[in-house]
């Protein structure tokens, strides 16, 4: 047995390297009882995490050895591509058993990308009422609040008192696993406010609920982008975001824990896109990863060839002074780095809504100024290095001037490119890097070799 007291601090949550090894040994020995003992104390999120860390062959054998139906919560917690792999190994009945007790948003999350046959099987396994809810959610656009909300919530007529609410909750009504607010509705089910459970518990039975509502009450439309809802939950410190339909009737809620997971995924996506990795995850197969990264490298190749063509314009200049070939990558590299700095700040500021129409000009001016000051600083450094290394003040002057030009252009392109892409409806995290690097490579080589051709030869 794994002893939690021996957990290595560096390891993830409840899963130590030793536990992984013990689980693999039990799977190897096809010892269902030992496996069950090892898994019994673990949270579904931990079992999912463990499954993500072993390879596909071991996962297949794990599923064969483990006894009894798979816990639907484990499926919910899995990375999307590993989840697909495991679902593909379940027959429709096993799958239906696994999802039956999940909340509606988790069921939707599980079935939305399943094949028709599997999706059908899962939907048929649900109660009629749950099925309607899931089908309704699937009818909303991907990434909308309606698609990601859970329909389980507690609402009450706005004329109720604390006592009415308590009596209702104590009756044999089915309640969500977790809920933190009661949402007040008018006779036409229009949401009018919400009350925290803490306030209900701390007031006498006769107190009308409407006197206890929170100051601020915001609702979100079913078609609203779920990322916007998650950002609002974070911004306004909400625990529950009520989702309403066209008639302002409450149809579901998005809870803060789902919003938190969602924002984590979005930040992750931005990081990976900025690095040209797309949707990659450690659990992808080698061939999938290779395919995902290929297009980004191909774009980079086009960029690099473009830069090479600029260099080839100056072959005679380089032939006349080979030192130029030695120094030219420095100017391009510094521009590329400065451009990446500016564009990363801009891309994130757009994502977090800190860069808006109200301050875009100020930000552009600021980045250009930063580029100018750092350009001047490195111009001095490189000028001196040029003189010392190659003994040529003019070569020093050329590289210094090219450095200033390229760092100013880097600041400008690093801000303008993401802003323009955003206005054109293109994800700036995805496409900015290639554009900005092309600009700084071309400008860097052209300025350095061009000035050299004019001043030196």
Nearer to its own copies, 138 or 166 (CB): 166
Q: Which is nearer to its own copies, 136 or 446 (CB)?
A: 446
Task: State the minimum distance, in angstroms, from the CB of residue 370 to its own copies.
Answer: 5
Rounded to a whole number of angstroms, the minimum distance from the CB of residue 336 to its own copies is: 9
Task: For the CB of residue 97, give the shortest distance to its own copies in the complex, in Å.
Answer: 21
Closer to its own copies by CB, 128 or 287: give it.
Answer: 287
**Residue number with CB closer to its own copies (119 or 240):** 240
Query: What letter does residue 209 receive in the DSSP assignment?
Result: G
The nearer residue to its own copies, 11 or 28, going by C-beta atoms, is 11
Q: How far is the CB of 117 from its own copies (least distance, A)?
A: 31
Nearer to its own copies, 118 or 437 (CB): 437
Q: Smallest gap, in angstroms, from Cβ of residue 22 to its own copies?
A: 11
Provide φ and ψ at 67, rounded to 5°.
-90, 155
How far is the first Cα of the chain from the last one, in angstroms, to the nearest whole number? 77
**Beta carbon nearer to its own copies, 189 or 434:** 434
Measured from the CB atom, the residue of 121 and 274 that comes closer to its own copies is 274
Query: Coil, strand or helix: which one is 242?
Result: strand
- Closest contact distance (angstroms) between CB of 345 and its own copies is 6
Backbone angles phi, psi at 275, to 5 degrees: -90, 5
C-alpha to C-alpha distance for 403 and 444, rounded to whole angstroms: 8
Q: How far apart are CA 253 and CA 243, in angstroms?
A: 5
CB 372 within 8 A of CB 407: yes
Contacting residues for 314 by C-beta, under 8 A, at least 6 apart: 324, 445, 449, 450, 452, 453
Minimum Å gap between C-beta 302 and its own copies is 10
Q: How far is the C-alpha of 448 from the C-alpha of 457, rounded, in Å?
A: 13
Q: How many CB atoms lie within 10 A of CB 141?
A: 12
Judged by CB, which is closer to its own copies: 233, or 417? 233
What's the closest the beta carbon of residue 101 comes to its own copies, in angstroms? 14
Beta bridge pairs of residue 241:
254
Shortest Å distance, C-beta 6 to its own copies: 14
One DSSP character per residue, 323-347 reads HHHHHHHHHHHHHHHHHHHHHHHHH
How far apart are alpha carbons 321 and 4 in whole angstroms? 67
Element of type H or E holding 191: strand 191-196
Q: How far apart are CA 178 and CA 92, in angstroms?
A: 28
Within a 13 Å sphere around the CA of 257, how many CA atoms are in the beta-carbon half? 7
Q: In the bound complex, what is the minimum distance in angstroms from residue 103's beta carbon to its own copies?
A: 11
- Of 325 and 394, nearer to its own copies (C-beta) is 325
The answer to whether 434 touches 299, Cβ cutoff 8 Å, is yes
Q: What are the respective helix, strand and coil percentages of the chain, to the nearest 5?
A: 65, 10, 25
Are 443 and 307 spatial neighbours (Cβ–Cβ below 8 Å)? no
């Amino acid at each position: 047995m794994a002893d939690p007291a021996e957990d290595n601090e560096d390891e993830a949550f409840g899963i130590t390297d030793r536990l992984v090894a013990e689980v693999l040994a039990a799977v190897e020995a096809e010892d269902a009882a030992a496996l069950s003992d090892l898994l019994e104390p673990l949270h579904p999120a931990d079992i999912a995490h463990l499954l993500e860390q072993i390879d596909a062959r071991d996962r297949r054998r794990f599923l064969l050895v483990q006894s009894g139906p798979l816990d639907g919560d484990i499926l919910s917690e899995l990375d999307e591509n590993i989840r697909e792999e495991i679902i593909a190994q379940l027959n429709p009945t096993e799958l239906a058993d696994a999802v039956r007790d999940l909340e509606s948003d988790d069921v939707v999350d599980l079935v939305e990308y399943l094949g028709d046959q599997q999706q059908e099987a899962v939907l048929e396994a649900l109660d009629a009422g749950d099925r309607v809810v899931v089908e309704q959610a699937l009818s909303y656009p991907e990434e909308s609040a309606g698609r990601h909300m859970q329909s389980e919530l507690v609402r009450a007529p706005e004329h109720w008192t604390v006592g009415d609410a308590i009596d209702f909750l104590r009756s044999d009504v089915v309640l969500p696993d977790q809920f933190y607010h009661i949402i007040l509705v008018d006779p036409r089910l229009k949401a009018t406010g919400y009350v925290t459970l803490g306030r209900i518990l701390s007031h006498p039975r006769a107190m009308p609920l409407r006197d206890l509502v929170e100051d601020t009450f915001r609702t979100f439309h079913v078609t609203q982008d779920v990322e916007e809802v998650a950002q609002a939950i974070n911004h306004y410190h909400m625990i529950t975001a009520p989702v309403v339909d066209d008639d302002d009737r409450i149809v579901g809620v998005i809870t803060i824990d789902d919003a938190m997971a969602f924002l984590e995924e979005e930040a992750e996506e931005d990081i990976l896109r900025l690095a040209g990795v797309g949707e990659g995850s450690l659990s992808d197969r080698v061939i999938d990863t290779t395919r995902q990264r290929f297009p980004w490298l191909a774009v980079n190749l086009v960029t690099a060839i473009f830069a090479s063509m600029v260099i080839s314009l100056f072959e005679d200049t380089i032939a006349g002074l080979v030192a130029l070939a030695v120094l030219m990558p420095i100017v391009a590299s510094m521009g590329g780095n400065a451009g990446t700095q500016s564009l990363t700040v801009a891309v994130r500021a757009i994502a977090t809504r800190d860069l808006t129409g109200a301050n875009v000009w100020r930000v552009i001016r600021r980045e250009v100024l930063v580029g100018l000051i750092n350009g001047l600083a490195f111009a001095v450094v490189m000028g001196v290095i040029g003189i010392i290394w190659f003994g040529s003040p003019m070569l020093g002057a050329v590289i210094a001037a090219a450095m200033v030009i390229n760092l100013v252009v880097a600041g400008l392109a690093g801000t303008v490119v993401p802003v323009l892409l955003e206005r054109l409806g293109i994800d700036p995290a995805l496409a900015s890097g290639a554009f900005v690097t092309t600009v700084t490579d071309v400008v860097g080589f052209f300025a350095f070799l061009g000035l050299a051709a004019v001043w030196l030869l």
